[in-house]
Chains A and B, each alone.
Chain A
Amino acid sequence: MKINDVILRTISRIVVFIILTFGVYLFLSGHNTPGGGFIGGLVLASAIVLLYLSTDIETVKKSLPLDFKYVAAIGVLLATSTGFGSIVFGVPFMSQTFAYFDLPIFGKTELTTVTIFEAGVALTVVGVLVTIILSISEDGG
């Protein structure tokens, strides 16, 4: 079944990018301000789900050839391996650290190891959410 909904498709083409940007913003801001990996991941996932809704599954699969199960797995791997990293460095499990770097465009930026963990969380959320929604919708056709 293919929904021929011109309004939804036209608008979603623009809105998806706004949502994606907002998702990335939420993800990056989530250290000392509201936001974070989980929320950012949810917003990112909602953008992808909107893509699935406005076009159809086949089209999205062609342009976005990702197995979301693996996305989730990479996410968990990333999140747990940051915890594992602290074992390598001989500090208590899940320790975090941060430092300030001078980056070309951004100027003085705070880079934290928590961000890696949060990236893992975000990837996990995106992967799990899209997998679940796809697994329900794929055979409902």
Chain B
Amino acid sequence: MNNLIVLPLIIPIIVGIILVFLRPYVKWQRVISLLTMIGIAGISLFILNRVQTDGIIRLDFAGWEPPFGILFVADSFAMLLVLTASVVTGICLIHAFSSIGDKHEKMYFYPFVLFLVAGVNGSFLTGDLFNLFVCFEVMLLASYVLITLGGTKPQLRESIKYVVINVLASWFFLVALAYLYGTVGTLNMAHISERVAESGQGPLLTTISILFLVVFSLKAGLLLFFWLPGSYSVPPTAVAALFGALLTKVGIYALFRTFTLIFYHEPLISHTVIGIMAGITLIVGCIGAIAFKDVRLIVSYNVVIAVGFIMIGLAVGTETSIAGSIYYVIHDMIAKAMLFLLAGTMIYLTGKSKIDEMSGLIRNYPVFGWMFFLVTCSLAGIPPLSGFVGKILVGQGSIESGSYILLALAFISSIVVLYSLLRIFLNTIFGETIISLEDEKPMEMGMIIPIVLLGIATISLGLGAEVISSYVTDAAHTLSNPSVYIDAVMGGNK
């Protein structure tokens, strides 16, 4: 029985509900939510290994066989992301323990984080497009609450835009679903893929694919990222880190899934559009990352750049480049969480958010300073850190298929990332200290430990690339050969 693969969705929901009843007992909430995340990480690691031995696992809800019921499908790509998401959430929770504050913790912070995780994991695991919509909504509703939690003026102001944009995107998702259902008459992703392959991807289906592209781009921040920097810079640090690490990745996952599994017949149209969008995202994201002086905005624009970079892997579309993108998604979840935590801690320590108002943090907090340097190197793709493998594979894929413009853009963007983060580093962390010894806020262990943990993760992901390469190769193989996925889903009962 494959009930195991529904656990990453159902455990956070149930635990989250139980935490609602434990509202006054903050300590219990902390312990239980952290243990839950560790448990889910363990379960997903186990499933990931089972996928390697048994192939893709699927679970038909209530025993309705595909294409009639809804189902969960666990392949390597999904499980890698579920695993990383759980680990990153666990680490962000540790940071939240000391940074989020009592008021938030009593306003159901932990339940909503768990609901967010449930939505994210559900989106990764589902094998049904409508189910994907529902999981998206679970995730988004939790994120709406998390972004408004606290209710300061800038939060309310930014969150109302975030909510409206996402609601509109969700309805467009439904429009696209309706058209697709009207055209192919099914919502099971593998079945859609089969039917599209049978009938050929005509102009109508290509148009629908572009509608899906627009919807997922809004969610992922690919080109349509105008809402992202504002709304990612207002919530509390731990929430911002979760958003930066997880939310855009779900959109990216959906793009990869739909455009490798379903709409892969017209790469000249859809993948070219994705390539152009990724290129423009890179350029505009780079401009944004250089233009601003607010640490949170610079960091938010770095999210945008990463999205552009990952999508190049899909636009190029060779197995190598997709493998590179998968590496990079995993790396980016870890590194972006780390970057957001660092930026938030920096603001907490100094009370300022502009880079020219801070200076010399490394004198007061040496570990913190070196961790920032580490994440800068990691995001720029300096070996042996985790960003390197992804970048080199995406680059190799682009050369194989001759996409030199995207290749150039991708690597120029890496330099810009390096520049924008080094600018923060030189301005705030090097130089004369502005904090005298008396004013120095003590660095709380609860804040530096998660950052160091993420630092260890990015180093070990870089050094241990050999270990995870078998998983990534399998994930890329499944993505570039839709028949593997379709056979696993439609190929009778196991």
CB of A74 to closest CB in B, whole Å: 8
Interface size on B, residues (CB 8 A): 17
- Summarize B's interface: helix, strand, loop or mixed: helix
A137 within 8 Å of B by Cβ? no
- In A79-99, the 8 Å CB interface with B consists of 80-81, 83-84, 86-87, 90-96
- Summarize A's interface: helix, strand, loop or mixed: helix
Interface size on A, residues (CB 8 A): 18
Contact present for A86 and B3 (CB under 8 Å): yes
A69 within 8 Å of B by Cβ? yes
Chain B residues whose C-beta falls within 8 Å of the C-beta of A57 in the assembled complex:
none
Query: Which residue of chain A has the shortest Cβ distance to B61 in the bound complex?
Result: A94
CB of B114 to closest CB in A, whole Å: 12
Contact present for A95 and B62 (CB under 8 Å): yes
Contact present for B17 and A76 (CB under 8 Å): yes
Partner-contacting stretch, out of B6-14, B224-232, B303-311, B375-383: B6-14
Contact present for A80 and B1 (CB under 8 Å): no
Known: A80-B10, A83-B10, A93-B3. A73 touches B17 (CB 8 A): yes
Interchain CA distance A65-B63 in the complex, whole Å: 41
Chain B residues whose C-beta falls within 8 Å of the C-beta of A80 in the assembled complex:
10, 13-14, 17
Chain A residues whose C-beta falls within 8 Å of the C-beta of B63 in the assembled complex:
91-92, 95
B181 within 8 Å of A by Cβ? no
Contact present for B62 and A77 (CB under 8 Å): no
A25 within 8 Å of B by Cβ? no
Chain B residues whose C-beta falls within 8 Å of the C-beta of A17 in the assembled complex:
none
Contact present for A77 and B14 (CB under 8 Å): yes
A101 within 8 Å of B by Cβ? no
Chain A residues whose C-beta falls within 8 Å of the C-beta of B72 in the assembled complex:
93
B488 within 8 Å of A by Cβ? no
Contact present for A93 and B59 (CB under 8 Å): yes
Interchain CA distance A14-B63 in the complex, whole Å: 46
Contact present for B20 and A81 (CB under 8 Å): no
Query: Which residue of chain A has the shortest Cβ distance to B72 in the bound complex?
Result: A93
Enumerate chain B interface residues (CB-CB to A < 8 A): 1-3, 6, 10, 13-14, 17-18, 20-21, 59-63, 72
Enumerate chain A interface residues (CB-CB to B < 8 A): 69-70, 73, 76-77, 80-81, 83-84, 86-87, 90-96
User: What are 24 inter-chain pairs, A to B, with CB distance below 8 A?
Assistant: A69-B20, A70-B20, A73-B21, A77-B17, A80-B13, A80-B14, A80-B17, A83-B6, A83-B10, A87-B3, A90-B1, A90-B3, A91-B1, A91-B63, A92-B1, A92-B2, A92-B60, A92-B63, A93-B3, A93-B10, A93-B72, A94-B62, A95-B63, A96-B62
